Structure 1
Amino acid sequence: MANFTNNREFLSEFIDLYRQLPEVWKVKSDVYKNRNLGNLAYEKLIEKLKEVEPNADRQMVRKKINVLRSAYRRELKKSNRKL
């Protein structure tokens, strides 16, 4: 996974794709509750991740999303402390 962690262009594209798929992250949405749509959304994310990690699977996508979310929250917390 380390070979694409610092690739800003890929990360930007991956995050944009993730944002376009509320069935993966928007818990209060009706589409989130639809498993078929969720599975299709994860397949899109897996295909995107396979561009840089040929062995990508659902578990790897979930881990990558969790890492990105954790980093975002950590940086947000730092910036809030400075204010």
Structure 2
Amino acid sequence: MSREFIEGFISVYRENPCLWQIKCKEYTNENLKARAYDNLVTYCKSNGYSNVNRDFVMKKIENLRGCFRKEMRKVESSKTTGTGSDDI
């Protein structure tokens, strides 16, 4: 997957706070979430991925969130090791 695809996927994901913002009142609205997932599926299909479904999108989101958490742990652990701010 190209960098442009991932950046676009993340931007569409961020436009739908019902998928990621827990304190948002729409977070519990299943119909709104279904439409948001459909938006992501449509985005994927419009970029050349023909066999995309909701499961693919959910796995992609979990993958991105996992990578983010992994990188955050690396940054946090480098802060506690006593390295300089240039090495973070």
TM-score (norm 2): 0.82
Extract structure 1 runs of 4+ deviating beyond 2 A: none
Residues 12-51 of structure 1 aligned to structure 2 (within 5 Å)? 12-50=7-45, 51=47
Residues 1-83 of structure 1 aligned to structure 2 (within 5 Å)? 4=1, 7-50=2-45, 51-83=47-79
1:56 aligns to what SS in structure 2?
A: coil
RMSD of the alignment, in Å? 1.0
Say which one has the larger Rg. 2
Q: Percent identity?
A: 37
Shift of residue 28, structure 1, vs aligned partner: 2.3
2:19 aligns to what SS in structure 1?
A: helix
Gap runs ≥5 in structure 2: 80-88
The code of the aligned residue for 2:43 comes to K
Gap runs ≥5 in structure 1: none
1:55 aligns to what SS in structure 2?
A: coil
1:17 aligns to what SS in structure 2?
A: helix
The number of equivalent residue pairs is 78
In structure 2, how many angstroms separate the alpha carbons of the residues matched to 1:29 and 1:63? Answer: 22
Stretch of structure 1 that moved more, 18-27 or 64-73: 18-27
Shift of residue 79, structure 1, vs aligned partner: 1.3
The code of the aligned residue for 1:75 comes to E
In structure 1, how many angstroms separate the alpha carbons of the residues matched to 2:42 and 2:76? Answer: 35
